[in-house]
Amino acid sequence: MKLITFLAFMVLTMTTFAQHTGFNNFSSDQFETIITCWEIKEIEVANPIYDSIYYWTYSAGTSDWTISGKDDDFIYNGENLLSWTHYQFDGTWIPAGMEIFTYDGQGNKLSHLIKQYSSGGWENISIRTYTYNENNNITSRIDQVWSNGNWQNDYKLINTYDEMGNNLSILSYTSDSTNVWFNNKRTIITYNENNNHLTIFAQMWYNNVWNNWYDYSYNYDDLERVSMIHSMRWYQNDWNLQEKHHYQYTNNNLDTILSEELKNGLWKNYRITSQWYNENDMQIGSLTRYFFFDEWMNDTQYSIGYDSRGNVALIVTERWNFQEWKPVSRVCNEFNENNIRTGYSYTDYQWEEIRGDSTHYFLHETLGTYDIQSTEISVYPNPTNGLIAISGASQFASIELYNLTGKRITILKFEHGTADLSGLPSGIYILKIIMGDEVVMRKIVKC
């Protein structure tokens, strides 16, 4: 009876999604794939205590899983991760990489060292160090790379804050082979009485002077939800309006993001994203369209399913080929009773690749490490075509970007209340926002 109830839920969810999008052309195998992988919501949890993580790759030729690597040798001090080692498998386990962390007495991360294994020994690759103020806000971050037996300066951030902990300014520096720091970017951020962004103003250092770069301004509705974002770029010695994004809500859920761009002095439709939710206000799908030749053209759609505890267990991505929807990727997740992910599989239909195997992905359970986080972090616009603003991350240590298989893609430069994803391919990503000893995860859709 429970299985029947569950399958009925999935059929209803996908039927509702198809009705909203106007497309009911799922093939029978696509539909079977969807309903056999469970249902889904995003729940933030404190860092789990890892025992080991194994990675497997599926070969269509042999119809079998092949082990490819593992993360192991996790060492903790309480809940603070001190180090872990990555191994590759080539008949035997070969060490490949290691990450080492240090902390202060407040649990703030002081350093993050990355090493690689080469020629029978460990070699330094990079190190990131932090300083904090009395409120545990990061006041500086320095990135260095190992070169010719010495640490070489690479990148530096200096942050200032108001008495509420809002990040008021970010100044970034780069370096050359002389280890001298040079101005790079600076950003000034203003807030309203509710500590929400009002403006984000950025400049670039060029020809030994600060040059205007962009200026974002934010409007809010009576419930302090973002209602509009205006973006301006500095061009030919003047500010030029570039885009504006309209946000519409139903029952406190963001259901429409309409983007316009200024062309020949007139605002023109550019992109629209519609989102749908179930009775529990959990998003079950989205559809992004672009405005071409005076009509909206389909681009990408996502469908999402949840397990009985509200964890995201299924994400199906499809792209419109001007005739029909074609599957792009599918992610299936499994979770334990503490809402910790214990398994996943990822299918890439474009490259005919499958990665992951739930029977070989293991997390060690330790009592007291699964408290639900209540941090209010907002990421917008979402979906985005590049630049995103992250509000509430006043005590960020770093922002990492992951794909849906759990692989880290990059560490984003969060210099001015924003991060730039414009160089990334379209798809769904996970932002890992690290603020001292607290970690918050947010899904972001790149158009």
Per-residue DSSP letters for 33-97?
Answer: HHHTS-------BPPP--SEEEEEEEETTTTEEEEEEEEEEEEEETTEEEEEEEEEESSSEEEEE
* CA 130 vs CA 78, 203, 324, 433: distances in Å: 21, 24, 50, 15
Please write the tens of the pLDDT for every residue from 255-296. 999 999 998 889 999 999 999 999 888 999 999 999 998 999
Structure tokens at 185: 């970017």
Please write the tens of the pLDDT for every residue from 77-128. 887 889 999 999 888 999 999 999 999 999 999 999 999 999 889 999 999 9
Least confident of 136-145, 244-253, 357-366: 357-366
Range of 8-22, 163-177, 421-435 with top mean pLDDT: 163-177
Please write the tens of the pLDDT for every residue from 292-341. 989 999 999 999 999 888 888 898 999 998 889 998 888 888 887 777 77
Distance CA 399, CA 386 (A): 15
Distance CA 243, CA 414 (A): 21
Structure tokens at 307: 């397990």
Structure tokens at 95: 């060490």
The pTM for the full model equals 0.67
Residue 255 is predicted with a pLDDT of 92
Residue 287 is predicted with a pLDDT of 94
Cβ contacts of 277 within 8 Å, gap of 6 or more: 251, 253, 255, 283, 284
Query: With left for phi above 0 and alpha for psi between -120 and 50, is residue 356 left, alpha or beta?
Result: left
Distance CA 383, CA 179 (A): 39
- DSSP lists the bridge partners of residue 137 as none
Peptide bond into 48 cis (omega under 30): no
Distance CA 123, CA 147 (A): 10
Q: Which amino acid is at 360?
A: H
Indicate the average pLDDT of the chain.
78
Q: Reduce the DSSP state of residue 182 to 3 states and report it.
A: strand
Q: Which amino acid is at 73?
A: D
Annotated domain spans of the chain: 2-371
- If one counts every other C-beta atom within 10 angstroms of the C-beta of residue 360, the result is 15
On whether the CB atoms of residues 439 and 46 are closer than 8 A, the answer is: yes
